[in-house]
């Protein structure tokens, strides 16, 4: 197999499922009888800010109570020991990659533990609730929203992500259904630039046919195995 000098890993909710954090499409995809796609939008926030703040306050508390699992820790080991280029692009808003030891992580859909002031545009690490309208530490206004990329909003860090996809020789997708763009299109972008593509997922996804290889099973088993393979080369 050709040398591996540059890896891009894309992760989705499935990598955090075994840490007890709910995925989007496993259950009925509803929250308080609202479709998540409706809650996770600027329109949903404008229509009912208290409902959307409650949704994210609850998930922020769940993120803080969750622990990284063997898959997050294996990617932390890869980050420490792989001497080539590595970028972990996550669609997840939890901080389990960081707590699992990974450093080269980009949160393309924002972060649960970050608050974004709509009055002065400052962003703050935030571990508590936002629903009660706390004052922004920078400007004092009660105008902070979750620092999350909602449907219809531009994902973060797209330029460094596209650069990494153009340069990588291996693209690995872990725990994502391939339902949401532009993340779901990354595999084609990497393949078009000559990268090999590998999917590690519990079940076949919407994008499985786009991968050179698909391994089905829980991330906590598949990811440590794959990291061992890469580091043994
Ligand atoms: C954009 C943050 C424009 C929120 C999320 C019409 C109008 C407007 C936009 C669109 C439109 N039609 C299409 C679009 C684009 C839209 C989109 O793709 N919609 C979909 C619904 C069709 N995308 C956007 O709006 C994006 N922005 O397009 O901007 C633009 C773009 C470029 C340039 C200019 C303008 C923004 C999308 C971001 C939305 N925010 N999250 C929050 O977290 O609350 S999306 C959310 O769902 C997640 O972040 C994630 O990205 C996404 C998909 O979820 P997954 O992570 O894949 O989780 P899922 O449950 O689906 O799957 C889990 C998988 O894990 C399963 O396959 C399962 O088998 C597996 N699994 C389960 N357990 C395990 C496991 N695998 C391994 N081990 C296990 N134990």
| Contact predicate 130/145, CB 8 Å | yes
Q: Which of 68, 70, 92, 67 is nearest to 9 (CA)?
A: 92
**What's the pLDDT score for residue 30?**
66
The CA R_g of the chain, rounded to the nearest whole Å, is: 18
**DSSP-based helix, strand, coil % in the chain, nearest 5:** 35, 20, 40
Distance 121 CA to ligand 1 centre (A): 25
25 CA to centre of ligand 1 in angstroms: 10
Q: Could you read off the pLDDT of 174-233 as tens digits, one per residue?
A: 999 999 999 999 999 999 999 999 999 999 999 999 999 999 999 999 999 999 999 998
pLDDT value of position 25 = 75
Closest Cα to atom 40 of ligand 1: 150
Catalytic residue numbers, as ranges = 109
pLDDT for the residue 38: 82
Name the residue at shortest CA distance from atom 36 of ligand 1: 151
Residue of 14, 69, 172 best suited for mutating to test ligand 1, as the one with most atoms within 8 Å of CB: 14
The pLDDT of residue 224 is 98
Half-sphere exposure of 216 (CA within 13 A, CB side): 5
- pLDDT at residue number 21: 94
* Positions of the chain with pLDDT under 50: none
Give the residue among 189, 198, 209, 211 at the shortest CA–CA distance from 170.
198
Contact 176 CB / ligand 1 (< 6 Å) = yes
C-beta of 202 in contact with ligand 1 (< 6 A): yes
DSSP assignments along 155-182, one per residue: PSSHHHHHHHHHH-SEEEEES--S-STT
């Amino acid at each position: 197999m050709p040398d591996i000098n540059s890896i891009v890993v894309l992760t989705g909710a499935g990598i955090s499922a075994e840490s007890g954090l709910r995925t989007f499409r496993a259950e009925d995809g509803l929250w308080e009888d609202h479709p998540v796609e409706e809650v996770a939008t600027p329109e949903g926030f404008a229509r009912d800010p208290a409902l959307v703040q409650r949704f994210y306050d609850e998930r922020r508390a769940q993120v803080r109570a969750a622990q990284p699992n063997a898959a997050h820790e294996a990617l932390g080991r890869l980050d420490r020991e792989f001497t080539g280029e590595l970028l972990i692009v996550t669609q997840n808003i939890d901080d389990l990659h960081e707590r699992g030891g990974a450093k080269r992580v980009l949160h393309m859909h924002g972060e649960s533990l970050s608050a974004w002031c709509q009055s002065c545009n400052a962003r703050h690490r935030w571990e508590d609730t936002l629903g009660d309208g706390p004052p922004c530490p920078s400007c004092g206004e009660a105008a902070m929203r979750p620092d999350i990329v909602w449907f219809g909003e531009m994902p973060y860090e797209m330029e460094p992500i596209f650069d990494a996809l153009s340069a990588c020789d291996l693209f690995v997708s872990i725990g994502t259904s391939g339902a949401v763009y532009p993340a779901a299109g990354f595999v084609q972008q990497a393949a078009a630039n000559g990268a090999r593509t590998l999917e590690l997922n519990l079940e076949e996804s919407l994008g499985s046919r786009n991968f050179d290889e698909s391994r089905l099973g829980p991330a906590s088993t598949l990811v440590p195995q794959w990291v061992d393979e890469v580091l043994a080369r």
